[in-house]
Amino acid sequence: MAGGADRQPAARTMLEQLLRGRDQTYEEAAADFDTIARSIGERASITPRHLRRLASGERESTNPTTRRVLQQMFDASASMLLGPPQPHGKSGLVPPDALQADITIPRVLSIDNAKELVVMAADRARQFTILAGQSMVNDVAIEQLYEDVRQLAIDYPRTPLPAILGRLVELQDLAFTILEGRNSPSHARQVYFLAGITSGLLAKASHDMADSRSAAVQARSAFVCAEQADHNGLRAWVRGLQALVAYWAGRPKESLRYAQSGTEFAATGSTAAIWLPVSEARAWAVLGNADDARSALTRAEDAWDGAGRDELDEIGGICTFGRTRQLYYSADTLAWLPSEMEEAERYAIQAVQAYQDDTGPEWAFGDQAGSHADLAVARIFRGEIAGAAEALAPVIALPSGQRNNGIVASAQRVRDALVKAPPSRDSSQLQDEIEMFSRIPVASITK
């Protein structure tokens, strides 16, 4: 039996510990596994012998499908289940009456539990951050991990978050599980690099869900990975993400510090050398310092002369910074400064035009929406309310799954500009549309 007499030997894994708590035979537990797999649409089955070997610790790994079903079955990650048993009463051990909780990570995530998943991922990142450094994966496994990370980095700016969040959390868990095992130094560095990217993507995901606490946890985990990999490009990229999160959270001084502290790491040559100063420019602009904002934009432009392409840039997608994003960041900077509205409009028009091609490698629905919002702000300052409404129309039309934290904040920035403009019927109507749009962001429909 999976459970049994009181005088049994000590459980060897958390899985064996939990199975004993159910007082089932392995045949009964395997049947439950098959039933749960069917209920969540997974093509998976397990034999009593296989389950017994997993529970006894004879097998330390299994395939992703089996891991997802086990997680659903026991409400705990596969790495925890196959790890050592936990003391009774310790936080993290699921009580027997809670084993049927409806938590899983399907390939395409239902938006209803996305918020909970972001928090769960942050908890996993925190656990890893604490255990990092207590560290055998082969070249083929690393190559597959690299391809998975690369695809998610490319998909992230182009795909609604609920469609990819499950894959991202699963990939981070896989990378952490590898690192918590035994690896050669060269392999460990490569996996730390890839784990840093997945944690960075989850920092962005947490931010997009308006969960700044989880975003900070994931970003710290990403920087731990960059340190372990000793990779300056990754260090610089993570600082850029931290500057981005702080900017949208309304903490411009913190954003400024992150952008400036990342500059030393970008000196070795990557497009982060452009991203960091334009991020600095946005922070200066929020603080009302037009001179320093302008200076930072100039430094970003000058940085193109010496910018190279590192491993992050080769991955592409959200891991690199191109000319189109620079146009958007420049418009976003200048739209904070009343004296620079003519220039802000010029940059915003260029960015809007550049983002019209949704097949281009730099296309990102979030930055495209931000460019439209910046154009609307500039037009409001020039008294063109109808033109502002036209500029913002594509943003207002976005489906709820794409209304991430940054996009909603950009729309509300347009609303704030309207409040300061002379009142009119058109202005009132546009404010109402923004209010309706902001009521159903990604984060709110998960609550």
Q: Half-sphere exposure of 435 toward its Cβ, with a 13 Å CA cutoff?
A: 8
Q: Cα–Cα distances in Å, from 131 out to 126, 222, 423?
A: 9, 14, 57
Q: Which of the residue ranges 81-90, 104-113, 277-286 has the most confident prediction, judged by mean pLDDT? A: 277-286
Which token pair is 387?
């033109």
pLDDT digits (tens, 9 = 90+) for 398-417: 888 888 888 999 999 999 99
Both tokens assigned to 346: 């010029």
CB count within 10 Å of CB 390 equals 14
Position 105 pLDDT exceeds 60: no
- The DSSP-derived string for 346-403 is HHHHHHHHHTT-TTSTT--HHHHHHHHHHHHHHHHHTT-HHHHHHHHHHHHT--GGG-
For the cut 60, the answer to whether the pLDDT of residue 89 exceeds it is no
Question: What pLDDT sits at residue 373?
Answer: 95
In sequence order, the 6+-apart residues with CB closer than 8 A to the CB of 434 are 392, 396, 411, 412, 414, 415, 418
Supply the pLDDT for residue 108: 53
CA torsion sign for 121, 127, 129, 132 is: negative
> Is residue 64's pLDDT more than 80?
no
User: Which residues have C-beta within 8 Å of that of residue 286, sequence separation ≥ 6?
Assistant: 247, 252, 255, 336
Residue 232's identity, in one-letter code, is N
Structure tokens at 308: 């190279």
Q: Residue 42 has what pLDDT?
A: 74
Does residue 98 have a pLDDT over 60? no
Report how far apart, in Å, the C-alpha atoms of 128 and of each of 7, 86, 177, 201 are: 34, 17, 9, 16
- 243/303 Cα distance (integer angstroms): 18
The tokens describing 167, both together, are 């894959």
Q: How far is it, in rounded angstroms, from Cα 313 to Cα 327?
A: 18
Nearest to 161 by CA among 392, 408, 400: 400
User: Hunting for tokens 């934009």 — which residue is that?
Assistant: 297
Q: Which pLDDT belongs to residue 81?
A: 84
Name which residue leads in pLDDT, 369 or 442.
369
Over residues 134-185, the pLDDT tens digits come to: 445 677 778 888 989 999 999 999 998 888 898 899 889 888 888 877 778 8
- Calculate the alpha carbon distances from 147 to 99, 154, 171, 349, 411 in Å: 34, 11, 11, 35, 35
Residues sharing a CB contact under 8 Å with residue 160, sequence separation 6 or more, in sequence order: 399, 401, 402, 442
| Mean pLDDT of the chain, nearest integer | 84
Higher per-residue confidence, 324 vs 74: 324
129 with 220: CB under 8 angstroms?
Answer: yes
